[in-house]
Chain A
């Protein structure tokens, strides 16, 4: 076995650790995700940047500032050390190498026009208030969706098979788990994006990162000026091509021996590959030999102007549809802590960590329910579950501040919607027979019994309702006789203070049985 270059070893160790923790965050349930997400997701650029833009007092904002500054020093290290999608691609590339499918890489043509157009489109559309492009392309969120669906389902499937086998022998140590509901449309997006990333990495290395990923393009702008940089010592180089073959980003030009630092993902493969120590990673200022830069700048400006114009027009229609699309009963209910539909759609990157972490599976991915600007953002789905009164996991795992962490007592009063009782459908009202399934499960005293004759009728006390959906979930009628409609801006419910029961009747001494 050959000795691996020290820097590459560090990269491997860090990335494997980061990736494992990411998997645990997304595959684990509730508690594990809560603990890990706080520290791990701090370093995710896009969620952190969204917090930075919208609530500059949040701590998480420093994540993106830190990454930008560090990129100015070390280059695009994020892409190889911290980006979960990058590490996933590296894994696929490593496997492809091992099985001989793609033994070596070649220098690739750069597509700055495509890359920067996507970046500008994404930035502009985000400024206009639609995160759709961010959500689709942000590598962290894209990875999150792959992990929360494919990876997680595989784990749950294995868990359930094993559980079933163990239960046959009276071992009750594992438990059956339901996978979160996913609409077919969302499943299609998951699949397409995974196949895209898979094929790209299998055949072209880090092509996704260098042509499509808007974050890759943005960090590339900074890494161009990084203090530490890769270069090839032309005196020592024997033009053996080993470094080029090892470069997943395809950014080492074998002709000129230049390394395109805007595309280099700082993986240290070239240092490891070079037998003559000609490949170097060292402190040094940029020599302004703008070979590639000058001619493409004009093209770049042109394309950005075109892109800007089109995004403005498309974006404004998206924005309008955002205001128009979700109304009335169809308006999606957003998780507690998200403040309301407007704040939520502006901040959620659709990483689906909340979908994966939600213990009751009530948070499910939406497709177009929020309108075009909120593609894939999750919603509360009371057909699948209810929001557990004693749970605030979603806010504690959300990395972008779309769902703010709420203290438990606060969460129990946040109103995300209101229940409506349809007396024309309600069993007790229609059949005059006992049911009260809704009131039985209501955690806030919003549905109370009212005795008429021999029958107890459910009665709404809407001031106490927080819209958790337990009643809707429990209601036995189809369609539901009680259902929750969204509060577009979350409110606050009244806190129920239980009345003291009437003093118990004095016991008639020791032998007092009432029969």
Chain B
């Protein structure tokens, strides 16, 4: 017992010393952000923000700034692209992810050598046949198919498998779509919009479409579950569509009056950072959105944008 403790202490001392040295060194050389940045070695940004372009053109630029799709998708891999397709609305209402963006992402995946790309979203607790309507009217089914992706159903419990999240605070087990569990690469493509009852829906909340029993989130605690799920599955890439932004009456939207053109696109590996940035684009302090704050506290990602390397680009 004692020996182990002593050993641990020694180990700790060693680690702290070397950490201190590293920090000191980094400060000396003037690049402290590299310590926190995931891609320190390659020099790629933590977050890329592009604006004033069409969805597909902005994505071309953004992924190039991120270092290209090849950094995320390797030859022969299977990819799941998970947009928000939860509403039976056409694209101009800004209720679902922009189909043009989804199409562009799929094309980049195949460009990087992906073997298969699945597109799916679990639309939620509503009734029989609604998924078909949402897939179709959102324009995503056609867009995805035209790019060669497989549009997979998610409205049956048989597609889901139970997983445990030991480190979760409240969401200890959850049933996740098998295609997401089996995929090599998981790309989260939310749309930024108002959410009357959860403030905002962006990348973290979009992952509710990856699980079966969304009702349980509501009864266990919506914000807590959204944050907990990220402990299990952090997408390899989060691409936030803020081209058309629903600024009120979300998440469903009542009319085109609710939609404002922001023509913005954000991408990041850090789901909390991307939500934080998107919240600011919406005009809301990220800390006021419970689940973003919780995600930061759980160590899922970083809410403090000033600590990150952000690459911004305005299309001309």
Contacts and interface: CB of A to CB of B under 8 A. Distances in A.
B249 A445 contact: yes
Nearest to B88: A390
Contacts of B305: 515
Given A170-B150, A498-B255, A473 B125 contact: yes
B254 A445 contact: yes
A416 to B, nearest CB: 16
Interface string B138-177: 0000000000001111011000000000000000000000
Contact of A511 (B223, B248, B314): B314
Nearest to B257: A498
Contacts of B215: 437, 474, 476
Nearest to A442: B252
Interface stretch (A146-154, A175-183, A308-316): A175-183
A515 B310 contact: yes
Given A427-B219, A501-B260, A513-B51, A176 B125 contact: no
B234 to A, nearest CB: 21
Interface string A239-280: 000000000000000000000000000000000000000000
Nearest to A444: B254
Interface in B215-257: 215-216, 218-219, 221-223, 247-249, 251-252, 254-255, 257
A191 interface: no
Contact of A360 (B124, B129, B310, B314): B129
B312 interface: yes
Nearest to A391: B133
B257 A510 contact: no
A501 B258 contact: yes
B66 to A, nearest CB: 16
Nearest to B286: A515
Contacts of A384: 127
Given A445-B254, A456-B197, A361 B128 contact: yes
Contacts of B195: 440
Contacts of A186: none
Contacts of B252: 440-443
Contacts of B223: 433-434
B222 A433 contact: yes
Contact of A362 (B127, B255, B283, B310): B127
B280 A176 contact: no
A499 B129 CA distance: 32
A355 B123 CA distance: 23
A403 to B, nearest CB: 18
Interface string B114-139: 00100000001111111011000000
Interface string A461-486: 00000000010011011000000000
Nearest to B249: A498
A82 to B, nearest CB: 31
| Majority SS at the chain A contact face | loop
B126 A474 contact: yes
Contacts of B187: none
A500 interface: yes
- Count class of interface residues, chain A: 35 or more
A361 B127 contact: yes
A360 B153 contact: no
A337 B305 CA distance: 54
Contacts, number: 134
Given A435-B222, A511-B314, A515-B310, A172 B127 contact: no
A362 B130 CA distance: 12
A434 B314 CA distance: 36
Contacts of B116: 170
B221 A510 contact: no
Contacts of B310: 515
B280 A514 contact: yes
A385 B155 CA distance: 14
A20 B303 CA distance: 62
B196 A385 contact: no
Nearest to B250: A440
Given A476-B218, A498-B249, A504-B260, A456 B196 contact: yes
B197 A458 contact: yes
A293 interface: no
B218 A439 contact: no
A515 B222 contact: no
Contacts of B49: 513, 515
A285 to B, nearest CB: 56
Nearest to B201: A440
A431 B222 CA distance: 11
Determine which residue in A436, A456, A514, A515 has the highest number of CB atoms from chain B within 10 A of its CB, and name it. Answer: A515
Contact of B219 (A443, A454, A476): A476
B104 interface: no
B312 A511 contact: yes
Given A360-B127, A434-B197, A498-B254, A176 B153 contact: yes
A78 to B, nearest CB: 35
B312 A513 contact: yes
A484 B259 CA distance: 31
A510 B151 CA distance: 37
Contacts of A511: 312, 314
Contact of B280 (A390, A501, A515): A515
B286 to A, nearest CB: 10
Contacts of B132: 175
A434 B128 contact: no
B77 interface: no
A167 B154 CA distance: 12
B13 interface: no
Contact of A501 (B197, B257, B281): B257
A449 B156 CA distance: 31
A197 B255 CA distance: 53
A231 to B, nearest CB: 54
Nearest to B131: A175
Contacts of B156: 176
Nearest to A504: B260
A18 interface: no
A499 B249 CA distance: 10
Interface string A194-238: 000000000000000000000000000000000000000000000
A477 B218 CA distance: 9
Nearest to A389: B88
Contacts of A445: 249, 254
Nearest to B222: A434
Nearest to B219: A476
B196 A436 contact: yes
Interface string B69-89: 000000000000000000010
Contacts of A433: 221-223
8 contacts: A175-B153, A388-B127, A441-B252, A449-B197, A500-B257, A505-B283, A514-B281, A514-B283
Interface of B: 49, 51-52, 88, 116, 124-130, 132-133, 150-153, 155-156, 195-199, 215-216, 218-219, 221-223, 247-249, 251-252, 254-255, 257-258, 260, 277, 280-281, 283, 290, 305, 310, 312, 314
7 nearest A-B residue pairs (beta carbon): A436-B197, A385-B127, A360-B127, A476-B218, A476-B215, A514-B280, A476-B219
